[in-house]
Amino acid sequence: MDFGFKLSPSSAVNLDTVDRRRYDRLVQLQPDALTCIGCGSCSATCTSASWTGMSVRKVLLGLQRGRDEEVDKMLSGCMLCGKCTMVCPRGINTRQLILTLCRLDKNGEVVR
Amino acid sequence: MIYQGKQKIWADYQKEIPDNHYFYVRSCIRQNFFPASERYFLKICRDLLGRDIYETEHHTTCAGIAYHCDTLPQETAMTVVARQFALMTEAGYENLVTSCITSFGNYCEVLESWREFPELEAMIRENLWKACRREFNKPKYVAHASDLVYKLRGEIAERAKFHLVSRATGEPLRIVEHIGCHYSKMFPHKGVGGAEYPCVLSGMAEAWGGQVIDYPERRHCCGYGFRQYHVRANRGYSLSNTHKKFESMEPFHPDMIITNCPGCPYFLDRWQYVIAEQTGKTYGRNGYGIPVLTYEELAGLVLGVDPWDLGLQIHQVAVEPLLDKIGIPYDPARKYLGMDEKKIMTPGLPTSLKCF
């Protein structure tokens, strides 16, 4: 029956069922990822953010929530300019973190 | 924490509810949604428990619904509220009891605004005088009708003919309580238990034998939200909120839901039909839904009032499985009989949600 409106898909994330293998492998290879405080300085300074949607902060959040497709889309917009690395208050080498992440598949295996 | 410390903190969440002498103001939408609720509130409080509750046919809407829908300015709503206060003053009452949660929130908001901005109160007094030559005293106490029933829950329990327990197993019924947002989320200190631990409905359910269940989205809105439902394009959002609540409570297998707001029982009840039509999913046992009752209807059932006199046939979700579980007798042939046993129309049955 068409009521003229319908249910919206839920945006709730069930952390018990999320596949975090890629994030766990990243942390193994780049332990700096654990020190991120999510301040967003990297996103604020990102050159490509405004037209590609790239955001290192959102990449890490997306990985923790198992949203690999969104993460890959964002990573494809990165120009590896390294400005995010220069502004990170925790001194995380975000450029190296992105390069490492691009080498991992969804299962956390190094493929490149 | 030591016991006395806990008691002291809990005391801050309590409120003193006057026992008697109230001026009653009805809700504008409840009389259409669940018409017997307000009638039985008055019958129980006045006739059964002997309280003095006065109402006048001259009172109007509190204008809260229009105010929250952004169709009139707050000053207009305040003048309408001031007129209700004038009627209360003329009738010689000092305590106001409201049937509607939004009215309760609206009256509290108006009184708080006047306390913060006395010049606004002076302006509204002048507006009221110009409009209808009336003057008023502010109420000493504003209560919601559920506060009063909460206060009288022990007296109702003493007169109970049925308890909220399963007749077959003797186990208490599993009850979800849902409190309207405008009850204690606007002014937490005005509600019994504050915004964090509102116990106005759970207190009733437990006093009458039931067991209140906790679930993750217990304090989530029912989904009504004036600007969500009243705009057709936003109704999917309203429905999705209700769906979220049902998905959250489903694993706890509730037997019923009780509410104290005009909108919540309506939407928790009717949206079960819409969800069933759209997804084929039902949340009760054996293809039925979860019955949603107002606290007055529940009090009436506990006191042995005939379910069809309480208007339970107006609910979308069938209440018969719940009545059978408690052991409340009912006559299926009388379900759709109107005044003077006159036969009124029988509604069509939904395709997915099982009904009688």
- The interface predicted TM-score (ipTM) is 0.74
Phi and psi of A2, rounded to 5°?
A: -95, 115
With CA atoms as reference, the chain A residue closest to B244 would be A10
Q: How far apart are CA A106 and CA B194, in angstroms?
A: 47
Q: Is A5 part of a structural domain of the chain?
A: no
Q: Which residue has the tokens 């428990």?
A: B49
Any residues with CB less than 8 A from the CB of B6 and at least 6 apart, and which?
Answer: none
Q: Judge whether A16 is closer than 8 Å to chain B, CB to CB.
A: no
Q: What is the pLDDT of residues B91-145, one digit of tens each?
A: 999 999 999 999 999 999 999 999 999 999 999 999 999 999 999 999 999 999 9
Q: What is the pLDDT of residues A45-87, one digit of tens each?
A: 999 999 999 999 999 999 999 899 999 999 999 999 999 999 9
Nearest 10 degrees: CA dihedral of A45, A46, A47, A49? -130
Q: Is A13 part of a structural domain of the chain?
A: no
User: Residue B3 above 70 pLDDT?
Assistant: yes
Q: Mutation test of the interface with chain B: which of A5, A6, A8, choosing the one with the most B Cβ atoms within 10 A?
A: A5
Closest CA to A111 of A30, A22, A27: A22
Q: Is A70 part of a structural domain of the chain?
A: yes
Which A residues in the span 51-110 are in contact with B, Cβ-Cβ below 8 Å? none
Nearest 10 degrees: CA dihedral of B152, B157, B162, B166? 110
Q: How far apart are CA B137 and CA B159, in angstroms?
A: 37
Q: Judge whether A11 is closer than 8 Å to chain B, CB to CB.
A: no
User: Residue B174 above 70 pLDDT?
Assistant: yes
Q: Judge whether A8 is closer than 8 Å to chain B, CB to CB.
A: yes
| Alpha helices for chain B (secondary structure H) | 3-11, 30-33, 36-42, 64-68, 74-91, 101-116, 118-132, 145-151, 153-158, 181-184, 200-207, 226-229, 235-249, 263-279, 295-302, 320-326
Q: Strands B256-259, B174-178: parallel, antiparallel or unpaired by DSSP?
A: parallel
Number of domains in chain A: 1
DSSP string, B39-64: HHHHIIIIIIT---EE--TT----SH
pLDDT at B317 (0 to 100):
95
Q: Is A54 part of a structural domain of the chain?
A: yes
Q: How far apart are CA B244 and CA B248, in angstroms?
A: 6
Q: Is A69 part of a structural domain of the chain?
A: yes
Q: Is A9 part of a structural domain of the chain?
A: no
Any residues with CB less than 8 A from the CB of B229 and at least 6 apart, and which?
Answer: B223, B235, B238, B263, B267
Share above pLDDT 90 across residues of chain A, in percent, rounded to a whole number: 71
- The shortest CB-CB distance from B236 to any of A1, A8, A10 is to A8
User: Residue B6 above 80 pLDDT?
Assistant: no
Q: What 8-state DSSP symbol labels residue B258?
A: E
Q: Is A61 part of a structural domain of the chain?
A: yes
Give B355→chain A minimum CA distance, Å: 18
Across B166-182, average pLDDT: 95
Which B residues in the span 290-319 are in contact with A, Cβ-Cβ below 8 Å? none
Query: CA angle, corner B324, sides to B320 and B326, nearest 5?
Result: 120
Q: Is A107 part of a structural domain of the chain?
A: no
Binary contact (A8, B240; C-beta < 8 A)? yes
User: Residue B274 above 80 pLDDT?
Assistant: yes
- The shortest CB-CB distance from B236 to any of A1, A5, A12 is to A5
Q: How far apart are CA B195 and CA B181, in angstroms?
A: 9
Binary contact (A1, B279; C-beta < 8 A)? no
pLDDT band at B1 (very low <50, low <70, confident <90, very high): low
Q: What is the pLDDT of residues B54-101, one digit of tens each?
A: 999 999 999 999 998 889 999 999 999 999 999 999 999 999 999 999
Q: Judge whether A10 is closer than 8 Å to chain B, CB to CB.
A: yes
Can you give the residue range of the structural domain that contains A64? 21-102
Q: Is the dihedral of CA B293, B297, B300, B301 positive or negative?
A: negative
